[in-house]
Each structure stands twice: as C-alpha cells, then as structure tokens.
Amino acid sequence: MSLGKMVTRFFVLFFVIFTLLIIIFSSTKLRQLHNIYFCTIEFPIHNIINFHVFADFLPEAPENKNHWSITFKVWDERKYEQSLWNKKFRENTQPKAILFQNAHEIVLVPTIFLISLFFASPIPWRRKLFKILLGLLLFYIFMALYLSYRFEYTINKDSLSLDSIWHVIIWFFGLGGNTDPIYIVVFFIWLLLTIPELIKLPVINKLLKTHANK
C-alpha cells in the first residue's frame, strides 16, 4: 500500500469510527454507564497520585441546566489523621468543596477521540489493543493531574501558588482549567504510542531510509 493510500485510509477510518461511537454514545444509558466506569477507574488513580487532595467520584449530579453529570467531593487530606480511604469516615466528614462537571465534555468525547485514532492506525491488531489500553491508562493519569489542578485551585480559594514541584506539575497539566487542550494531550498520547509502530511499516521504513541516504 502506498503512503498516500495509507494516509487516506487512516482519515476515512478515523472519521467513520469517531462518528459511529459518537452516535452510539448519544444514548443516555450508555453515557451513564461510562460515568460509572470512569468514576470506578479514576477514583483509585487520582487518590494514589494526589497526596494533597482526596476526591470522591460520584457518577451523578443534581438536576441542572449545565449538563453536569458527575460530582466530585474533595477533602484536604493533610488535615486528617484518619485515612480518607475509609468510606464511612468520608460519609461522616464534611468535604472541603463539592464540584460538578459534564463528564461527556471532558472525558467521554476525548476517550472516543483517542480510541478512534488507535483503531484507525495501520498497526497489527494485537499491538493496537495493547496500545489502546496503555493509551487509556495514560489518559486517566493525565485526568488525575488535570482534575487535581481544578480541585486544589478550588479549595485554595481560586488560587494556586507554584511553591512546590507538585503544584508546578498540576498547573502544567491543569491547562488553566480549559477543556479544548485536552484533545491536544490525547493526540500526543496517541502519537507517543503509535510512532514506534508506524516506523516499522515497510512503506514508512523505506521512506526514512531513502531520506537518510540523501
């Protein structure tokens, strides 16, 4: 297959897969199932990574006009001697802040974007499935850092001093609280995991050798 045909095939496949998944997940029930899945996965990842703020992830939100579908209850972990991993202790302890978010906007669509990129990529299926799982893990780690910025910014009364390496890290990955750059991060995750596979393809390998010999 020529490079031109391979690139065209990639873009066509990506568009078809992305569109189909967006249509499929227009179902309210499927969106809610994804909310439950995300909260279950992200809860331990976030609370292992973030040693300042403990967060509870709830796949629901009060009735609202802002399309909020997920609730975050956050505590300043440094103020408690007892472990906040204890669910009963959390239930009897007032959170420092409660935040709401549209999970479809910040998690589901970027996830679909990432999966579509991988499925459209011209790499072997076994490697493709492995890369999807690894890509999702990296995305969830990124989301832990992204949300950590939002949480700490909120509990510090809408400010975040860059007085530690941790605060610098979450400030960088927090993207200023903006959602659009999340897609750039997702694209780079795909690029990072896919490039090593793409350069193994005969058509690209040959192209690289041709340029190297010039």
Q: What was the pLDDT predicted at 119? A: 96
Q: What was the pLDDT predicted at 210? A: 65
* Percent of all residues in the chain with a pLDDT value above 90, rounded to a whole number: 69
Indicate the average pLDDT of the chain: 90
Is 0.85 topped by the overall pTM?
Answer: yes
pLDDT tens digits, one per residue of 175-201: 988 889 999 999 999 999 998 888 877
Q: What residue ranges do the domains of the chain occupy?
A: 3-52+105-212
Q: What is the mean pLDDT of residues 42-55?
A: 94
Measured CA to CA, the distance from residue 189 to residue 182 in angstroms comes to: 11
Q: For the purposes of burial, counting CB atoms within 10 Å of the CB of 26, is it exposed (0-12), middle (13-18) or buried (19 or more)?
A: exposed
Token pair for 10 = 């990639």
Residue 144 scores a pLDDT above 90: yes
Identity of residue 27: S
pLDDT band of residue 214 (cuts 50, 70, 90) is low
